[in-house]
Amino acid sequence: GAVVSQHPSRVICKSGTSVKIECRSLDFQATTMFWYRQFPKKSLMLMATSNEGSKATYEQGVEKDKFLINHASLTLSTLTVTSAHPEDSSFYICSASGQGVVANQPQHFGDGTRLSIL
């Protein structure tokens, strides 16, 4: 149980392109989804937290107009990197957490999207 699917796993595109990454919870309802960025050999850096039907909460230093997050349903959140540039190249990972009968559920992670901007 608790499977999170992230798509695509790899994207290579030209500078100036906008890229959309999808994150789906396959077997549970995700009341909260998170987006992280990870640099090589580093831990995960939280970019934003989104609750279904609400605007995302961005961490300090993360440009909300650059990284658009939509959490339109309890099973889907999307991250759009707008007008991507080479410095946006990174490993982006989503996670999802449900609040079912038992509160304070742990986060379950997708397999990440490796984004390369040429």
Among 2, 13, 68, 74, which residue sits at the site for another protein (rule: CB under 8 A)? 2
Residue 82 as a binder of another protein (CB under 8 A): the answer is no
- The span from the CA of 94 to the CA of 77, in Å, is 9
**Pairing mode of beta strands 76-81, 19-25:** antiparallel
> Helix, strand, coil % (nearest 5) of the chain?
5, 50, 45
- The span from the CA of 27 to the CA of 45, in Å, is 26
Among 21, 47, 56, 93, which residue sits at the site for another protein (rule: CB under 8 A)? 93
Structure tokens at 72: 């339109």
The piece of 13-21, 70-78, 80-88, 100-108 that touches another protein (CB under 8 A) is 100-108
Among 4, 11, 27, 60, which residue sits at the site for another protein (rule: CB under 8 A)? 4
Are 12 and 99 within 8 A, CB to CB? no
Q: Toward another protein, which CB reaches closer, 34 or 67?
A: 34
Task: Name the residue type at position 118.
Answer: L
- Among positions 9-68, residues that touch another protein (CB under 8 A) are 32, 34, 42-44, 46, 49
**Binding residues for another protein (CB under 8 A):** 2, 4, 6, 32, 34, 42-44, 46, 49, 91, 93, 95, 97, 103-112, 114
